[in-house]
Chain A
Amino acid sequence: MRLEVHIARKVFANAAGERHDVLRDIAFTLAAGEVGVIVGPSGCGKTTLLRILTGLDHDYQGSIDRPADGRIGMVFQEPRLLPWRSVEDNIRLAAPKVDAARLSALLAVLELSAHRSHFPGELSLGLARRVALARALAVEPDFLILDEPFASLDQALAARLRDQIATLLEGRVVTTLLVTHNLDDAVRLGDRLFLLSKRPATLVHALALRPPRSARTDADVTAIKNELARLKQADG
Protein backbone atom coordinates (compact mmCIF):
# COMPACT_ATOMS: atom_id res chain seq x y z
CA MET A 1 0.00 0.00 0.00
CA ARG A 2 1.21 3.44 -0.92
CA LEU A 3 1.25 6.30 1.51
CA GLU A 4 1.16 9.93 0.45
CA VAL A 5 1.41 12.61 3.05
CA HIS A 6 0.81 16.33 2.58
CA ILE A 7 0.42 18.20 5.79
CA ALA A 8 0.39 21.95 5.32
CA ARG A 9 -0.20 22.86 8.93
CA LYS A 10 -1.26 21.46 12.26
CA VAL A 11 -2.15 23.87 15.03
CA PHE A 12 -2.49 23.16 18.72
CA ALA A 13 -4.21 25.44 21.19
CA ASN A 14 -2.75 25.22 24.68
CA ALA A 15 -4.66 25.60 27.93
CA ALA A 16 -4.20 29.39 27.89
CA GLY A 17 -5.83 29.53 24.46
CA GLU A 18 -2.64 30.43 22.57
CA ARG A 19 -2.41 28.76 19.22
CA HIS A 20 0.88 27.62 17.84
CA ASP A 21 2.04 25.44 14.97
CA VAL A 22 3.17 21.93 15.66
CA LEU A 23 3.69 20.71 12.11
CA ARG A 24 4.31 22.72 8.97
CA ASP A 25 4.89 21.65 5.37
CA ILE A 26 5.49 17.96 5.73
CA ALA A 27 5.14 16.07 2.49
CA PHE A 28 6.53 12.67 1.60
CA THR A 29 5.62 9.47 -0.18
CA LEU A 30 6.25 5.88 0.77
CA ALA A 31 5.89 3.19 -1.87
CA ALA A 32 4.33 -0.15 -0.97
CA GLY A 33 6.72 -2.22 1.09
CA GLU A 34 9.11 0.61 1.87
CA VAL A 35 10.34 1.37 5.35
CA GLY A 36 10.31 5.07 6.09
CA VAL A 37 12.05 6.38 9.16
CA ILE A 38 11.12 9.65 10.76
CA VAL A 39 13.95 11.13 12.80
CA GLY A 40 13.57 14.26 14.82
CA PRO A 41 14.34 15.77 18.19
CA SER A 42 12.07 14.70 21.02
CA GLY A 43 8.96 16.81 21.40
CA CYS A 44 9.04 17.98 17.79
CA GLY A 45 5.60 16.58 16.98
CA LYS A 46 6.36 13.09 15.70
CA THR A 47 3.59 11.50 17.71
CA THR A 48 1.17 14.17 16.48
CA LEU A 49 2.19 13.31 12.94
CA LEU A 50 1.48 9.63 13.59
CA ARG A 51 -1.93 10.42 15.06
CA ILE A 52 -2.79 12.22 11.84
CA LEU A 53 -1.48 9.39 9.66
CA THR A 54 -3.49 6.76 11.52
CA GLY A 55 -6.67 8.79 11.36
CA LEU A 56 -6.93 9.47 15.09
CA ASP A 57 -6.62 13.20 14.47
CA HIS A 58 -8.54 14.86 11.64
CA ASP A 59 -7.95 18.44 12.70
CA TYR A 60 -5.18 19.54 10.33
CA GLN A 61 -4.68 21.27 7.00
CA GLY A 62 -3.58 19.00 4.19
CA SER A 63 -4.31 15.49 3.03
CA ILE A 64 -3.28 11.93 3.72
CA ASP A 65 -3.64 9.45 0.93
CA ARG A 66 -3.74 5.80 1.85
CA PRO A 67 -6.12 2.98 0.89
CA ALA A 68 -9.11 3.15 3.21
CA ASP A 69 -9.33 -0.63 3.57
CA GLY A 70 -5.66 -1.02 4.48
CA ARG A 71 -5.08 -2.71 7.80
CA ILE A 72 -2.99 -0.76 10.28
CA GLY A 73 -0.71 -2.34 12.83
CA MET A 74 0.79 -0.04 15.38
CA VAL A 75 3.35 -0.28 18.13
CA PHE A 76 2.83 2.65 20.45
CA GLN A 77 5.50 4.31 22.54
CA GLU A 78 4.07 2.54 25.57
CA PRO A 79 2.99 -1.05 24.97
CA ARG A 80 -0.74 -0.25 25.49
CA LEU A 81 -1.71 -3.82 26.22
CA LEU A 82 -4.94 -4.69 27.99
CA PRO A 83 -3.71 -5.53 31.50
CA TRP A 84 -6.72 -7.79 32.17
CA ARG A 85 -6.13 -10.04 29.18
CA SER A 86 -3.35 -12.56 28.73
CA VAL A 87 -0.60 -12.09 26.16
CA GLU A 88 -2.32 -14.45 23.75
CA ASP A 89 -5.74 -12.82 24.24
CA ASN A 90 -4.23 -9.39 23.69
CA ILE A 91 -2.94 -10.52 20.32
CA ARG A 92 -6.06 -12.44 19.35
CA LEU A 93 -8.36 -9.54 20.22
CA ALA A 94 -6.54 -7.28 17.79
CA ALA A 95 -6.08 -10.03 15.20
CA PRO A 96 -9.11 -12.34 15.37
CA LYS A 97 -8.15 -14.01 12.10
CA VAL A 98 -4.64 -15.08 13.09
CA ASP A 99 -4.29 -18.86 12.93
CA ALA A 100 -2.58 -20.96 15.58
CA ALA A 101 0.48 -21.78 13.46
CA ARG A 102 1.17 -18.18 12.53
CA LEU A 103 0.70 -17.02 16.09
CA SER A 104 3.09 -19.67 17.38
CA ALA A 105 5.67 -18.75 14.77
CA LEU A 106 5.40 -15.08 15.63
CA LEU A 107 5.70 -15.74 19.35
CA ALA A 108 8.69 -17.99 18.70
CA VAL A 109 10.58 -15.35 16.69
CA LEU A 110 9.94 -12.76 19.38
CA GLU A 111 10.89 -15.25 22.13
CA LEU A 112 7.49 -14.95 23.74
CA SER A 113 6.37 -18.58 23.61
CA ALA A 114 6.83 -19.04 27.35
CA HIS A 115 4.72 -15.99 28.13
CA ARG A 116 1.56 -16.82 26.18
CA SER A 117 -0.71 -17.07 29.21
CA HIS A 118 0.94 -14.35 31.29
CA PHE A 119 -0.79 -11.10 32.04
CA PRO A 120 0.97 -7.88 30.93
CA GLY A 121 1.53 -6.88 34.56
CA GLU A 122 3.80 -9.90 34.90
CA LEU A 123 6.03 -8.85 32.01
CA SER A 124 9.07 -6.59 31.89
CA LEU A 125 8.91 -3.55 29.64
CA GLY A 126 11.06 -5.27 27.02
CA LEU A 127 8.71 -8.25 26.93
CA ALA A 128 5.62 -6.05 26.84
CA ARG A 129 7.12 -4.14 23.90
CA ARG A 130 7.61 -7.42 22.05
CA VAL A 131 4.01 -8.41 22.76
CA ALA A 132 2.88 -5.08 21.32
CA LEU A 133 5.01 -5.81 18.26
CA ALA A 134 3.56 -9.31 17.94
CA ARG A 135 0.07 -7.82 18.13
CA ALA A 136 0.83 -5.29 15.41
CA LEU A 137 2.28 -7.95 13.12
CA ALA A 138 -0.42 -10.53 13.82
CA VAL A 139 -3.02 -8.38 12.06
CA GLU A 140 -0.91 -8.78 8.89
CA PRO A 141 -0.86 -5.05 8.42
CA ASP A 142 -0.59 -3.25 5.12
CA PHE A 143 0.72 -0.30 7.04
CA LEU A 144 2.91 -0.80 10.10
CA ILE A 145 3.73 2.05 12.44
CA LEU A 146 6.42 1.83 15.07
CA ASP A 147 6.50 4.77 17.45
CA GLU A 148 9.89 4.71 19.20
CA PRO A 149 9.64 0.99 19.86
CA PHE A 150 13.08 0.87 21.47
CA ALA A 151 12.72 3.81 23.84
CA SER A 152 13.86 3.12 27.42
CA LEU A 153 15.23 -0.33 26.59
CA ASP A 154 18.88 -1.03 27.25
CA GLN A 155 21.11 -1.10 24.18
CA ALA A 156 21.56 -4.85 23.94
CA LEU A 157 17.82 -5.44 24.20
CA ALA A 158 17.06 -2.67 21.72
CA ALA A 159 19.53 -4.15 19.25
CA ARG A 160 17.95 -7.57 19.59
CA LEU A 161 14.45 -6.23 19.11
CA ARG A 162 15.66 -4.25 16.10
CA ASP A 163 17.08 -7.41 14.53
CA GLN A 164 13.82 -9.24 15.24
CA ILE A 165 11.88 -6.49 13.51
CA ALA A 166 14.25 -6.61 10.55
CA THR A 167 13.74 -10.40 10.32
CA LEU A 168 9.98 -10.08 10.52
CA LEU A 169 9.82 -7.37 7.86
CA GLU A 170 11.88 -9.36 5.41
CA GLY A 171 9.91 -11.17 2.77
CA ARG A 172 6.65 -9.37 3.24
CA VAL A 173 5.26 -6.24 1.69
CA VAL A 174 4.50 -3.97 4.59
CA THR A 175 4.68 -0.25 4.23
CA THR A 176 6.36 0.72 7.45
CA LEU A 177 6.89 3.95 9.25
CA LEU A 178 9.36 3.97 12.11
CA VAL A 179 9.71 6.93 14.43
CA THR A 180 12.95 7.18 16.34
CA HIS A 181 15.59 9.59 17.48
CA ASN A 182 18.30 6.98 17.23
CA LEU A 183 20.24 7.31 13.97
CA ASP A 184 21.63 3.81 14.27
CA ASP A 185 18.14 2.28 14.27
CA ALA A 186 17.12 4.58 11.45
CA VAL A 187 20.00 3.65 9.22
CA ARG A 188 19.79 -0.08 9.88
CA LEU A 189 16.06 -0.43 9.33
CA GLY A 190 15.08 2.25 6.83
CA ASP A 191 14.74 2.61 3.08
CA ARG A 192 13.93 6.28 3.31
CA LEU A 193 14.87 8.75 5.94
CA PHE A 194 12.87 11.84 6.84
CA LEU A 195 14.62 14.32 9.07
CA LEU A 196 12.37 16.67 10.98
CA SER A 197 13.33 19.98 12.54
CA LYS A 198 12.48 21.25 16.01
CA ARG A 199 9.00 22.58 16.70
CA PRO A 200 7.18 23.49 14.53
CA ALA A 201 8.37 20.38 12.76
CA THR A 202 9.10 20.70 9.08
CA LEU A 203 10.70 18.22 6.75
CA VAL A 204 14.37 19.21 6.51
CA HIS A 205 15.76 16.32 4.49
CA ALA A 206 14.27 13.32 2.73
CA LEU A 207 16.87 10.72 1.79
CA ALA A 208 16.68 7.41 0.00
CA LEU A 209 19.23 5.10 1.59
CA ARG A 210 21.56 3.04 -0.60
CA PRO A 211 22.33 0.16 -0.86
CA PRO A 212 19.06 -1.67 -0.09
CA ARG A 213 18.50 -2.72 3.49
CA SER A 214 19.30 -6.42 3.11
CA ALA A 215 22.61 -5.73 1.34
CA ARG A 216 23.70 -3.03 3.74
CA THR A 217 26.97 -3.80 5.51
CA ASP A 218 28.33 -2.30 8.70
CA ALA A 219 30.62 -0.15 6.55
CA ASP A 220 27.61 1.18 4.64
CA VAL A 221 25.85 1.95 7.90
CA THR A 222 28.84 3.94 9.12
CA ALA A 223 29.11 5.76 5.80
CA ILE A 224 25.45 6.75 5.86
CA LYS A 225 25.72 7.90 9.43
CA ASN A 226 28.72 10.06 8.58
CA GLU A 227 26.78 11.54 5.70
CA LEU A 228 23.91 12.32 8.07
CA ALA A 229 26.22 13.90 10.59
CA ARG A 230 27.61 16.10 7.83
CA LEU A 231 24.07 17.14 6.82
CA LYS A 232 23.26 17.98 10.41
CA GLN A 233 26.35 20.13 10.74
CA ALA A 234 25.55 21.93 7.50
CA ASP A 235 22.13 22.76 8.98
CA GLY A 236 23.84 24.22 11.99
Chain B
Amino acid sequence: MIRLLSVAVFFVTWWIASLFVGSAKLPPPPDVLQAIIAQARTGALFLNLGATLARVAVSFVLAMAFGTAIGYWMGRQRVADRLGDPWLIVLLNLPALVIIVLAYIWAGLTETAAIAAIAINKLPTAVVTLREGTRALDPSLDEMARIFNFPRGKAFRHVVLPQLAPYIAAASRSGLALIWKIVLVAEFLGRPNGVGFEIGVAFQLFDIPLLLAYSLSFAAIIFVIETALVQPFEARLSRWRPRAA
Protein backbone atom coordinates (compact mmCIF):
# COMPACT_ATOMS: atom_id res chain seq x y z
CA MET B 1 0.00 0.00 0.00
CA ILE B 2 2.79 2.40 0.97
CA ARG B 3 4.75 1.25 -2.07
CA LEU B 4 1.81 2.14 -4.32
CA LEU B 5 1.53 5.53 -2.73
CA SER B 6 5.23 6.08 -3.30
CA VAL B 7 4.80 5.27 -7.02
CA ALA B 8 1.82 7.63 -7.22
CA VAL B 9 3.87 10.43 -5.67
CA PHE B 10 6.51 9.88 -8.36
CA PHE B 11 3.99 10.31 -11.19
CA VAL B 12 2.35 13.35 -9.62
CA THR B 13 5.71 15.04 -9.11
CA TRP B 14 6.65 14.27 -12.69
CA TRP B 15 3.41 15.74 -14.01
CA ILE B 16 3.76 18.93 -11.97
CA ALA B 17 7.41 19.29 -12.98
CA SER B 18 6.52 18.94 -16.65
CA LEU B 19 4.08 21.84 -16.28
CA PHE B 20 6.89 24.06 -15.01
CA VAL B 21 9.67 22.95 -17.36
CA GLY B 22 7.51 22.69 -20.47
CA SER B 23 6.57 19.56 -22.41
CA ALA B 24 9.42 20.04 -24.89
CA LYS B 25 11.99 19.15 -22.27
CA LEU B 26 9.89 16.98 -19.95
CA PRO B 27 6.79 15.56 -21.62
CA PRO B 28 3.92 14.78 -19.17
CA PRO B 29 2.99 11.16 -18.39
CA PRO B 30 0.18 10.87 -21.02
CA ASP B 31 2.57 11.78 -23.88
CA VAL B 32 5.02 9.14 -22.74
CA LEU B 33 2.24 6.60 -22.35
CA GLN B 34 1.24 7.34 -25.93
CA ALA B 35 4.81 6.73 -27.09
CA ILE B 36 4.86 3.44 -25.17
CA ILE B 37 1.60 2.34 -26.81
CA ALA B 38 2.88 3.34 -30.25
CA GLN B 39 6.06 1.30 -29.73
CA ALA B 40 4.05 -1.61 -28.40
CA ARG B 41 1.74 -1.54 -31.49
CA THR B 42 4.63 -1.96 -33.90
CA GLY B 43 6.10 -4.67 -31.68
CA ALA B 44 9.40 -2.78 -31.42
CA LEU B 45 8.96 -2.31 -27.67
CA PHE B 46 8.79 -6.04 -26.94
CA LEU B 47 11.55 -6.88 -29.37
CA ASN B 48 13.92 -4.37 -27.80
CA LEU B 49 12.98 -5.16 -24.20
CA GLY B 50 13.32 -8.85 -24.99
CA ALA B 51 16.76 -8.37 -26.52
CA THR B 52 17.95 -6.41 -23.52
CA LEU B 53 16.49 -8.88 -21.04
CA ALA B 54 18.13 -11.80 -22.84
CA ARG B 55 21.52 -10.05 -22.66
CA VAL B 56 21.00 -9.30 -18.98
CA ALA B 57 20.03 -12.89 -18.25
CA VAL B 58 22.94 -14.50 -20.10
CA SER B 59 25.63 -12.16 -18.78
CA PHE B 60 24.18 -12.31 -15.26
CA VAL B 61 24.26 -16.10 -15.19
CA LEU B 62 27.78 -16.18 -16.62
CA ALA B 63 29.13 -13.58 -14.21
CA MET B 64 27.50 -15.16 -11.16
CA ALA B 65 28.58 -18.70 -12.04
CA PHE B 66 32.21 -17.78 -12.68
CA GLY B 67 32.27 -15.18 -9.92
CA THR B 68 30.95 -17.65 -7.32
CA ALA B 69 33.36 -20.38 -8.36
CA ILE B 70 36.41 -18.10 -8.46
CA GLY B 71 35.43 -16.32 -5.24
CA TYR B 72 34.97 -19.63 -3.40
CA TRP B 73 38.28 -20.88 -4.70
CA MET B 74 40.09 -17.69 -3.67
CA GLY B 75 38.47 -17.81 -0.25
CA ARG B 76 39.58 -21.38 0.33
CA GLN B 77 43.05 -21.42 -1.22
CA ARG B 78 45.66 -18.90 -0.17
CA VAL B 79 47.64 -19.44 -3.37
CA ALA B 80 44.60 -18.73 -5.51
CA ASP B 81 43.95 -15.59 -3.51
CA ARG B 82 47.50 -14.31 -3.98
CA LEU B 83 47.37 -15.20 -7.67
CA GLY B 84 44.01 -13.66 -8.39
CA ASP B 85 44.17 -10.56 -6.24
CA PRO B 86 46.06 -8.24 -8.64
CA TRP B 87 43.71 -9.19 -11.48
CA LEU B 88 40.79 -8.49 -9.22
CA ILE B 89 42.03 -5.04 -8.27
CA VAL B 90 42.54 -4.08 -11.91
CA LEU B 91 39.20 -5.46 -13.04
CA LEU B 92 37.35 -3.87 -10.13
CA ASN B 93 38.64 -0.42 -10.97
CA LEU B 94 38.62 -0.58 -14.76
CA PRO B 95 35.76 1.60 -16.06
CA ALA B 96 32.95 -0.32 -17.74
CA LEU B 97 33.38 1.80 -20.84
CA VAL B 98 36.97 0.66 -21.33
CA ILE B 99 36.01 -3.00 -21.17
CA ILE B 100 33.09 -2.54 -23.56
CA VAL B 101 35.08 -0.55 -26.13
CA LEU B 102 38.00 -2.96 -25.99
CA ALA B 103 35.67 -5.94 -26.37
CA TYR B 104 34.07 -4.39 -29.44
CA ILE B 105 37.46 -3.57 -30.95
CA TRP B 106 38.92 -7.01 -30.32
CA ALA B 107 35.88 -9.21 -31.00
CA GLY B 108 33.93 -6.95 -33.38
CA LEU B 109 30.46 -5.54 -32.86
CA THR B 110 29.06 -8.94 -31.99
CA GLU B 111 26.66 -10.36 -29.44
CA THR B 112 29.47 -12.37 -27.88
CA ALA B 113 31.57 -9.26 -27.38
CA ALA B 114 28.67 -7.40 -25.76
CA ILE B 115 27.74 -10.23 -23.38
CA ALA B 116 31.35 -10.96 -22.48
CA ALA B 117 32.00 -7.30 -21.75
CA ILE B 118 28.95 -7.04 -19.50
CA ALA B 119 29.80 -10.25 -17.68
CA ILE B 120 33.41 -9.19 -17.14
CA ASN B 121 32.20 -5.92 -15.64
CA LYS B 122 30.12 -7.77 -13.09
CA LEU B 123 32.57 -10.61 -12.43
CA PRO B 124 35.00 -8.93 -9.97
CA THR B 125 32.33 -7.71 -7.56
CA ALA B 126 30.84 -11.20 -7.43
CA VAL B 127 34.31 -12.65 -6.80
CA VAL B 128 35.03 -10.19 -3.97
CA THR B 129 31.69 -10.78 -2.27
CA LEU B 130 31.95 -14.56 -2.47
CA ARG B 131 35.55 -14.52 -1.33
CA GLU B 132 34.49 -12.65 1.80
CA GLY B 133 31.64 -15.11 2.26
CA THR B 134 33.99 -18.07 1.98
CA ARG B 135 36.42 -16.53 4.45
CA ALA B 136 33.56 -16.11 6.90
CA LEU B 137 32.58 -19.80 6.75
CA ASP B 138 32.30 -21.28 10.23
CA PRO B 139 35.14 -23.80 10.73
CA SER B 140 33.31 -25.41 13.65
CA LEU B 141 30.52 -26.52 11.30
CA ASP B 142 33.15 -27.87 8.91
CA GLU B 143 34.55 -29.97 11.75
CA MET B 144 31.08 -31.17 12.61
CA ALA B 145 30.55 -32.30 9.00
CA ARG B 146 33.92 -34.06 9.02
CA ILE B 147 33.29 -35.92 12.27
CA PHE B 148 29.84 -37.05 11.16
CA ASN B 149 31.32 -38.13 7.83
CA PHE B 150 29.22 -35.95 5.55
CA PRO B 151 30.02 -36.81 1.93
CA ARG B 152 31.53 -33.86 0.03
CA GLY B 153 28.46 -32.96 -1.98
CA LYS B 154 26.21 -33.13 1.04
CA ALA B 155 28.53 -30.99 3.12
CA PHE B 156 28.65 -28.40 0.37
CA ARG B 157 24.89 -28.32 -0.07
CA HIS B 158 23.84 -28.34 3.56
CA VAL B 159 26.78 -26.77 5.38
CA VAL B 160 28.62 -24.45 2.99
CA LEU B 161 25.95 -23.21 0.59
CA PRO B 162 23.51 -21.95 3.24
CA GLN B 163 26.36 -19.94 4.76
CA LEU B 164 27.19 -18.47 1.36
CA ALA B 165 23.55 -17.79 0.50
CA PRO B 166 23.42 -14.25 1.93
CA TYR B 167 26.60 -13.41 0.05
CA ILE B 168 25.25 -14.89 -3.17
CA ALA B 169 22.04 -12.92 -2.65
CA ALA B 170 23.99 -9.72 -2.04
CA ALA B 171 26.14 -10.32 -5.12
CA SER B 172 23.03 -11.04 -7.19
CA ARG B 173 21.27 -7.96 -5.98
CA SER B 174 24.16 -5.58 -6.61
CA GLY B 175 25.09 -7.49 -9.76
CA LEU B 176 21.68 -7.14 -11.27
CA ALA B 177 21.71 -3.41 -10.60
CA LEU B 178 25.15 -3.08 -12.19
CA ILE B 179 24.24 -5.16 -15.23
CA TRP B 180 21.01 -3.22 -15.85
CA LYS B 181 23.14 -0.09 -16.15
CA ILE B 182 25.98 -1.50 -18.20
CA VAL B 183 23.88 -3.45 -20.66
CA LEU B 184 22.39 -0.20 -22.00
CA VAL B 185 25.85 1.29 -22.53
CA ALA B 186 26.93 -1.80 -24.45
CA GLU B 187 23.81 -1.63 -26.59
CA PHE B 188 24.15 2.10 -27.13
CA LEU B 189 27.68 1.64 -28.42
CA GLY B 190 27.43 -1.39 -30.59
CA ARG B 191 24.16 -3.29 -30.91
CA PRO B 192 21.40 -2.87 -33.51
CA ASN B 193 18.57 -3.44 -31.01
CA GLY B 194 17.72 -3.34 -27.34
CA VAL B 195 16.68 -0.56 -24.99
CA GLY B 196 20.13 1.04 -25.09
CA PHE B 197 20.06 1.20 -28.88
CA GLU B 198 16.60 2.81 -28.90
CA ILE B 199 17.68 5.35 -26.32
CA GLY B 200 20.62 6.17 -28.59
CA VAL B 201 18.19 6.72 -31.48
CA ALA B 202 15.93 8.86 -29.31
CA PHE B 203 18.96 10.89 -28.23
CA GLN B 204 19.98 11.59 -31.84
CA LEU B 205 16.43 12.55 -32.84
CA PHE B 206 15.90 14.45 -29.60
CA ASP B 207 12.74 12.40 -29.17
CA ILE B 208 12.20 12.75 -25.43
CA PRO B 209 8.85 10.87 -25.21
CA LEU B 210 10.51 7.89 -26.95
CA LEU B 211 13.49 8.12 -24.61
CA LEU B 212 11.27 8.17 -21.56
CA ALA B 213 9.02 5.47 -23.00
CA TYR B 214 11.92 3.03 -23.16
CA SER B 215 13.45 4.09 -19.87
CA LEU B 216 10.18 3.70 -18.01
CA SER B 217 9.22 0.37 -19.56
CA PHE B 218 12.67 -0.85 -18.66
CA ALA B 219 12.36 0.45 -15.09
CA ALA B 220 8.95 -1.19 -14.81
CA ILE B 221 10.42 -4.55 -15.78
CA ILE B 222 13.23 -4.21 -13.26
CA PHE B 223 10.67 -3.35 -10.62
CA VAL B 224 8.59 -6.43 -11.44
CA ILE B 225 11.63 -8.71 -11.42
CA GLU B 226 12.77 -7.31 -8.07
CA THR B 227 9.41 -7.74 -6.35
CA ALA B 228 8.33 -10.95 -8.03
CA LEU B 229 11.63 -12.84 -8.13
CA VAL B 230 14.50 -11.38 -6.12
CA GLN B 231 12.68 -10.46 -2.92
CA PRO B 232 10.65 -13.69 -2.52
CA PHE B 233 13.84 -15.64 -3.19
CA GLU B 234 15.68 -13.75 -0.46
CA ALA B 235 12.78 -14.24 1.93
CA ARG B 236 12.86 -17.98 1.27
CA LEU B 237 16.60 -18.19 1.84
CA SER B 238 16.39 -16.47 5.20
CA ARG B 239 13.26 -18.17 6.50
CA TRP B 240 15.23 -19.99 9.21
CA ARG B 241 16.42 -16.74 10.76
CA PRO B 242 14.50 -15.68 13.85
CA ARG B 243 12.45 -12.70 12.72
CA ALA B 244 13.33 -9.31 14.08
CA ALA B 245 10.66 -7.85 16.30
A binds B: yes
Report A's interface with B, CB cutoff 8 A.
Answer: 54, 56, 71-74, 76, 78, 80, 82-85, 93-95, 119, 121-122, 135, 139
Q: A122 to B146: give the CA distance in the assembly, Å.
A: 25
The stretch of B4-12, B98-106, B136-144, B183-191 that contacts the partner chain = B136-144
Residues of A within 8 A of B154 (CB): 93
Whether A80 lies near B240 (C-beta < 8 A) is: no
Task: Known A-B contacts: A84-B165, A85-B158, A121-B241. Give 13 more (CB < 8 A).
Answer: A56-B143, A71-B149, A72-B147, A72-B149, A73-B148, A74-B147, A80-B141, A80-B143, A82-B141, A84-B162, A94-B150, A119-B242, A122-B242
Q: How far is the CB of B221 from chain A (nearest CB, A)?
A: 32
Q: How far is the CB of B161 from chain A (nearest CB, A)?
A: 9
- Given A80-B140, A83-B240, A119-B240, answer yes or no on A93-B150 (Cβ-Cβ < 8 Å): yes
Q: A103 to B1: give the CA distance in the assembly, Å.
A: 46
14 A-B pairs whose Cβ atoms sit less than 8 Å apart in the complex: A56-B146, A72-B147, A72-B148, A73-B148, A74-B147, A82-B162, A84-B162, A84-B165, A85-B158, A85-B240, A93-B148, A119-B242, A121-B240, A121-B241
Interface: B109 (CB within 8 A): no
Count residues of chain B with CB under 8 A from any CB of chain A.
17
Q: Which of B143, B147, B159, B241 interacts with A82 by CB under 8 Å?
A: B159
Q: Which of B140, B147, B158 interacts with A54 by CB under 8 Å?
A: B147
Report B's interface with A, CB cutoff 8 A.
Answer: 140-141, 143-144, 146-150, 154, 158-159, 162, 165, 240-242
SS of B interface (majority): helix
Please provide the 10 A-B residue pairs with the shortest distance between their CB atoms, ordered closest to farther: A94-B148, A84-B162, A84-B240, A80-B144, A121-B242, A119-B240, A74-B147, A54-B147, A80-B140, A72-B147
Q: A93 to B155: give the CA distance in the assembly, Å.
A: 9
Quick one: closest B residue to A121, CB to CB? Answer: B242
- Given A76-B140, A121-B242, answer yes or no on A139-B158 (Cβ-Cβ < 8 Å): no
Q: How far is the CB of A174 from chain B (nearest CB, A)?
A: 15
Q: A139 to B148: give the CA distance in the assembly, Å.
A: 8
Quick one: closest B residue to A120, CB to CB? Answer: B240
Residues of B within 8 A of A80 (CB): 140-141, 143-144
Residues of B within 8 A of A95 (CB): 148
Q: A83 to B144: give the CA distance in the assembly, Å.
A: 13
Q: A54 to B141: give the CA distance in the assembly, Å.
A: 15
Residues of B within 8 A of A72 (CB): 147-149
Quick one: closest A residue to B242, CB to CB? Answer: A121
Quick one: closest A residue to B146, CB to CB? Answer: A56
Q: How far is the CB of B25 from chain A (nearest CB, A)?
A: 52
Quick one: closest B residue to A78, CB to CB? Answer: B140
Q: A83 to B150: give the CA distance in the assembly, Å.
A: 17
Q: A82 to B165: give the CA distance in the assembly, Å.
A: 14
Residues of A within 8 A of B147 (CB): 54, 56, 72, 74
Q: A121 to B242: give the CA distance in the assembly, Å.
A: 6
Q: How far is the CB of A136 from chain B (nearest CB, A)?
A: 8
Whether B144 lies near A76 (C-beta < 8 A) is: yes
Q: A71 to B147: give the CA distance in the assembly, Å.
A: 9
Q: A80 to B241: give the CA distance in the assembly, Å.
A: 16
Residues of B within 8 A of A94 (CB): 148, 150
Q: A82 to B140: give the CA distance in the assembly, Å.
A: 11
Q: How far is the CB of A67 from chain B (nearest CB, A)?
A: 14
Residues of A within 8 A of B242 (CB): 119, 121-122
Whether A82 lies near B148 (C-beta < 8 A) is: no
Q: A16 to B158: give the CA distance in the assembly, Å.
A: 37
Q: A122 to B242: give the CA distance in the assembly, Å.
A: 7
Q: How far is the CB of A110 from chain B (nearest CB, A)?
A: 18
Q: A83 to B165: give the CA distance in the assembly, Å.
A: 13
Which residue among B146, B159, B240 has the maximum number of chain A CB atoms within 10 Å of its CB? B240
Residues of B within 8 A of A78 (CB): 140
Quick one: closest B residue to A85, CB to CB? Answer: B158
Q: How far is the CB of B245 from chain A (nearest CB, A)?
A: 14
Q: How far is the CB of B74 from chain A (nearest CB, A)?
A: 24
Quick one: closest B residue to A54, CB to CB? Answer: B147
Q: A119 to B240: give the CA distance in the assembly, Å.
A: 6
Residues of B within 8 A of A56 (CB): 143, 146-147
Residues of B within 8 A of A74 (CB): 144, 147-148
Q: A45 to B206: give the CA distance in the assembly, Å.
A: 76
